[in-house]
Structure 1
């Protein structure tokens, strides 16, 4: 099993490059269509995109095994939230890759009379569930880092009344009819600016989390569009797919940018 996982990992870089090229073709096809290009050129780009999609499916034939192995490792994590999110996410990925393998067999003629629309919708549902769990994990880790940074700042210097926004003061000021809104709004604005600055600083100091959050945020629009939940159009899907593919390639080139576990 371990040898198969190591062998399968060697094809991930190629699959990411082909994925970037596929979504680049999607974006290019949308641009050509909007620009009024010749129908023959648009057809050629669409065929090239379809060939790249089929090639990606071939390179992902063993990914279900790798996803199951990742789920087995994630189930032993000490953090209960990470354990739940990552284990279920990897299981959904395993089902997504399994559906993808069936689609590849259907498109190559190995399975005749396959309902490709049904299996495509099924695979994108598993993909969407996995992405939702990945984003939940990202937000959870971001919350932990923000709380850790707040504790560190509190230990360095005690908070002053002018830089904090107690909840009781907000409630009392909002409930008191004598409290003017012109006092509450600047306080709220200053508090919001501090929170945004803290958020930006935490993400800046944790590039793996930032890249994973951006990648998952881009990827989630793909199944949302394909399932008809939130249609965005092929141009936006192509741009999101291309951006997330480039971010994935960066994590392969620089393994330290990959979010762990």
Structure 2
């Protein structure tokens, strides 16, 4: 008698593959961490369950610490990947990707030192290293967003050229279209740059908030981190959603 699994094999295989990757587990922890932050912030605002809020805050801290352990040593990997990015032919991509990875490596290095300090191994200035960590993260995200803007510009130029070659510009002008609908269709068609832009756009505000450059509520920070984590998980599950340098 055959046994029918309630979970399709392709879905189960994807989950197993995702769970076997350190990056996948770290993104899942990040999703839970920011989801927990959003939850305790909402409860703190609309509920009087102080004990539950306290426990959720401790849970968020636990997931944050677990992520630091998962990432420990990754700064070296990211720095090495920055060296390989020097060979990218396109100048704009070469600069943005290389600088983004260098800053990301420095962000992770500062994060490692912070973890060592929290673990009590050595005495470190936590405020100083936390600020440095967020600054390097912010610089990395700025480079990522510049790269996203460049990718979007290149895609739009290709689309305009294609319409011109196929002599469709008059047809497009004669048929009124909903700009919002056109934008949605474009975003769906160009999924990699859309997912990358959502991820970087959401993450961008978190170090700004941590550095107190802008004032954002913990609920908003939690929501932004949750959305960017979902985008990161999607890129790991389906690599076709990742931007490539080719």
Q: TM-score range by the shorter chain?
A: 0.7 to 0.9
Matches within 5 A, 1:46-57: 46-57=57-68
The TM-score, its normalising length taken from structure 2, stands at 0.86
Are 1:34 and 2:50 an aligned pair? no
SS in 2 for 1:110: coil
The number of equivalent residue pairs is 225
Gaps of 5+ in 2: 1-19
Q: Alpha-carbon deviation of 1:56?
A: 0.6
Shift of residue 35, structure 1, vs aligned partner: 1.4
- Contact 1:93-1:130 within 8 A present in 2 as well: yes
Aligned residue among 133, 149, 158 for 2:143: 133
Q: Which residue number in structure 1 is paired with residue 222 of structure 2? A: 238
User: Taking structure 1 as reference, are residues 115 and 153 closer, same or farther at Cα in structure 2, changes over 3 Å only?
Assistant: same
TM-score (norm 1): 0.81
Deviation for aligned residue 1:40 = 1.3
Give the Å deviation of 1:145.
0.4
Task: Output one character per residue of 1:99-125: Cα deviation in whole Å (capped at 9) or x when no partner.
Answer: 00000000001112x111111111000
Report if the CA contact (8 A) 1:222-1:237 is conserved: yes
Aligned residues: CA RMSD: 2.0
| Other-structure match for 2:76 | 65
Structure 2 distance, partners of 1:194, 1:44, is: 48
Indicate the residue corresponding to 2:89 in structure 1: 78
Q: SS state of the match for residue 163, structure 1?
A: helix
Answer with 121-130 or 58-67: which moved more: 58-67
- After superposition, the C-alpha distances for 1:146-179 in whole angstroms (9 at most, x for unaligned) are 0000000011116449939xxxxxxxxxxxxxxx
3-state SS in 2 of match to 1:19: helix
1:196 to partner: Cα distance: 6.3
Match of 1:92 in 2: 103
The Cα of 1:37 is off from its aligned counterpart by 2.7
Q: Structure 2 vs 1, CA of residues 140 and 130 (structure 1 numbering), >3 Å: closer, same or farther?
A: same
Answer with 1 or 2: which has the greater Rg.
1
- Report if the CA contact (8 A) 1:86-1:137 is conserved: yes
Q: 1:32–1:42: 8 Å Cα contact kept in structure 2?
A: yes
1:202 Cα offset (Å)? 3.4
Structure 1: gaps spanning 5 or more residues? 1-8, 165-189
* Partner Cα separation in structure 1 for residue 138 and residue 75 of structure 2: 16
| Cα pair distance change 1:72/1:44, threshold 3 Å | same
